[in-house]
Amino acid sequence: MLEIKANLHSSHVLEIAFSDGSNEAIIYPSHIPDDSLKLLAEAAVRVLGPAHSTEFVMYDEPGEYLGLLEATGDQLEFKLLHFRDSVRADRAQAQPLFSTCTTAIGFARAVSRMLATLQAGTDEERFAEVWPPGFPQATFDLLRNSIRRFRDA
C-alpha cells in the first residue's frame, strides 16, 4: 500500500514522504504546499481518467523532483526522480528515489490522506475550492471524513 505523508514545518517548508511499507523517500520541496500538492492531486485525477500516464514536478533547491505515473490495466506504477540541475531533458541522469506499484484508487486515496492532513486547518468550503474538479465523489467523501476525524481527534 502506498503512503504519502506530508508535514508542514512552516509556511514555506514542506516535507513529503513516500513509502510502500519497505522503502521510503523523503523530499523537501521549497514551494508553498498548494502549488506542488495541486499538481499531485491533478495527476491522480488524470490517471483515474482516460489518460494512461502523466507526470508532476516539484521544485527544490538545487534541482527538482519529477513524479511519473503510468497505468497498466488496474495497476499504477509510481516513480520519483531527482534532477540536481533542474534539467529534465535526460531522464537517464536522474537519481531514482522511489518506485512502487499500486492501484489508481490507492494512489488517489494516498493523495487524499496527505491533503486532508495539510488542509485540516481550513474549513471544508475553502478546501472544496482548491480540490481539482472531476475527482471521484467517493474519494472526496473519504477526504472530507478524514478531515473531520483529524479535527475531532
Strands 24-27 and 14-19: antiparallel
CATH of the domain at 58: 3.30.2450
- Domain count along the chain: 1
pLDDT tens-place string over residues 36-86: 556 666 666 666 666 777 777 777 767 788 888 888 877 888 888 888 775
pLDDT tens-place string over residues 107-153: 877 776 776 666 655 555 555 555 555 555 665 666 566 555 545 54
Cell 527544490, residue located: 60
| Rounded-to-integer distance, Cα 100 and Cα 98, Å | 7
Under a CB-based contact definition with an 8 Å cutoff, are residues 77 and 47 in contact? Answer: no
Which pTM was predicted?
A: 0.65
Domain that holds residue 143: 3-152
